[in-house]
Structure 1
Amino acid sequence: MKGISYSSYGGPEVLAYGEVRDPKVGPDSVLVKVRAAAVNPVDWKCREGYLDGILEPVFPVVPGWDVSGVVIRPGVSVTEFGVGDEVIGYVREDLLSRGTFAEYVAAPLRTLARKPRNLSFEEAAGLPLVGLTAYQVLVKVLQIRRGETVLVHAAAGGVGSIAVQLARHLGARVIGTASRANHDFVRGLGGEPVEYGEGLGERVRGLAPEGVDAAFDTVGGESLRVSANLLAPEGRLVSIADADVFDYGGRYYFVRPDAEDLLRVSELAEQGAVSVHVSETFPLERAADAHRLSEQGRTRGKIVVTVDWETEGGGGGGQGR
């Protein structure tokens, strides 16, 4: 089958488009015909080798953890999905090996849920990682309650934009940091935008003089320090970007695959509680360009890579031999 792979750590130039090994479908997995796969910052961080200390690479690595597509072959023990079912997945395993930037991926059941019926494949591909992250942090870790004030950093980004919507759905007031160019976008999500940078603490205090009940850090560094100083008594702090959060009495969180959580996220999307903004799409063979754009760190919403089956052909090579 066709796919993207890299045989050593490095920049976007190590990503090669061509033949990659066909996936084998285990008893508790399904073979998914990939329609779209989202780019996340963790993808290029893995490619650069930044996660080498926690994820063993098996080269050549096919990158990508997010996917939307169609089930074409269930594993022998699978009863949850059948041929033709449309699914989304956060297909992260314990090794860097078989990712979603390919024509097919073998996805374990624990990584999958049905695709929201009201989202396109491109939009749906952008939901799993960011949706799970926002859901697990806000609902399970921060345990946001109605009437609370939540500070969300990078509120126009992938995780941030979902977090703003979900926190509003939970009944919270949301203050979101964003560049001035993205303030209207954040308002449209239901948040109150503030410009990041020097003076951020004072700007947030102007909106929430008593402090915020919870802060969701997606940036790290100075944003983390400012967040800690803005917490109300008994305020909670979580970071997905900077382990120094422990120094401020907060918690570091790395999203995990969870089929039940992902199904809940899918249901929230169908209810209109959360939506996915796709800023740009790239064909599979231009995945390196998608990585370059993601590395600039200025994306509104999500960047998505698509597999065009009319031109790709989808040859029989990926049928799960």
Structure 2
Amino acid sequence: MTRNLITPDPGSGNGSPPLLEIWNLKVHFPDDAGPVRAVDSIDLTVREKECFGIIGESGSGKTVLCLAILGLLPGDASFSGEITFKGENLFSMPSREIRKIRGKEIGAIFQNPATSLDPVFTIGDQLSEALSRGEGFSKAEVNTNLIHLLNRVSIQDPALRIRQYPHELSGGLRQRVMIAMGIAAEPSLIIADEPSSGLDLRIKRRIISLLQDISQNATMFIVTHDLELAEKLFETLAVMYAGEIVEISGCKEFFKAPMHPFSEGLLNSLPSRGMQPIPGSSPSLTALPEGCRFFPRCRYAMEICKNKHPELFSLTGERQVRCFKYA
């Protein structure tokens, strides 16, 4: 079983012990056409104070990976493997223990604040609940800290905002409220699912700047298809395709020279690199190819790729890639 053992540049803070480790994680869902293999044999390591990112197309399994870490998988999901946080396997914990960790030790920033925020409660009510998860916070202290928390995420007129309901806020403000909820209890790890999705360019760049500030003092695990966010924020990144990891790399090295053909295609689709789309479409997660899952779309495909599934090969410089070009 291959694991992420990247050693980033000195000074990045990644020489610290692992905070989150994922071993051979599989998450499948039932379907009439066969099991949907949303997450398929994933191994990752995230270290303290690291900003670790997952990038990939929509439907590649990124959000399901987040839900698995947070213990929020739907009831019909079948899963196996291990997710270890601070040395303890989350899958072996009772539900009540997971609920204690979620929010207090592991914060969450969900991708759609319009549906994640409760429309019948004010912003202040919802932030108060998030603040109360922090150890040692009394009700009076929660009320005192509301204004400070909104100031921290650059929300103006916080005294007004805490009395408002979600529908009264703009999309950018709602996203900042979601970020405030995610960091309220000062968790050790923050999971963010598409934190810049659906925002216009100006608001998106404000959110990126805010996440950069937060990442200076917290471990972050972010999934996105936004390559601008990835390039500006991540220290280490993994590329997901059709439920599995196809490349792991330091962020600077990745954007300088992507190794997997899918990674290369992602970067070539950027306007700054010619806006060349990747031909074809991702395979169905109920009918994955026998060989390389990217084979039908790959311009470098060889005969072996059609019939044999590649492992995640370790390369010089601690990079890893799932491609027979580097076998």
Normalised TM-score (structure 2): 0.29
Structure in which a larger fraction of residues adopt strand = 1
Normalised TM-score (structure 1): 0.29
